[in-house]
């Protein structure tokens, strides 16, 4: 999947996150349960966004693993009040991380993940730079 190896600009990131949040809200209102797939979509969008910031996509994987450990294991390890507090912190931290990813400007120059993405709403990677022999 090329998207996970490329870079994603802020406008495209916000469209993906906005659609995922909208799908979650509609699912919660219509079916009375949130759409867990939206979290996966936001995780997938975070990886190329992290690449645009010059960071590894594994940062998103670390956050995902920590959240899954809290959701699925925290109830067994923590007392009920501490588990509820930890979930409350996660509910506050996750949107903060999503906003930071969407607010920080990407690197203007090429980085380890390729050239900068095109400006505006675009889901295609930036074209490779022209070689000196072509100019």
Angle formed by the axes of helices 37-52 and 10-31, nearest 10°: 170
Residue 126 belongs to some domain of the structure: no
Residue 65 belongs to some domain of the structure: yes
- CA 3 to CA 13: how far, in whole Å? 12
Residue 96 belongs to some domain of the structure: yes
Q: What pLDDT was estimated at residue 114?
A: 87
Q: What pLDDT was estimated at residue 117?
A: 87
Q: Which domain holds residue 60?
A: 2-103
Residue 88 belongs to some domain of the structure: yes
Q: What is the DSSP letter of 44?
A: H
Residue 127 belongs to some domain of the structure: no
Per-residue pLDDT in tens (0 to 9) along the chain, 135 residues: 566 888 999 999 999 999 999 998 998 899 888 778 888 888 899 999 999 999 999 999 888 888 888 888 888 899 999 999 998 998 899 889 999 999 999 999 999 888 888 888 876 666 655 555 654
Count of structural domains, the chain: 1
Closest CA to 52 of 98, 22, 87, 9: 9
């Amino acid at each position: 999947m090329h998207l996970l190896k490329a870079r994603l600009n802020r406008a495209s990131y916000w469209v993906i996150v906005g659609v995922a949040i909208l799908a979650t809200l509609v699912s919660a209102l219509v079916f009375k349960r949130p759409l867990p797939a939206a979290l996966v979509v936001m995780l997938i969008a975070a990886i190329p966004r992290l690449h645009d910031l010059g960071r590894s996509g594994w940062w998103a994987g670390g956050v995902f693993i920590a959240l899954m450990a809290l959701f699925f294991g925290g109830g067994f390890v923590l007392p009920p009040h501490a588990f509820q507090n930890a979930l409350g912190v996660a509910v506050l931290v996750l949107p903060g991380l999503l906003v930071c990813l969407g607010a920080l400007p990407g690197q203007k120059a090429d980085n380890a993940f390729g050239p900068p993405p095109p400006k505006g709403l675009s889901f295609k990677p930036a074209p490779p730079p022209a070689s000196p022999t072509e100019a």
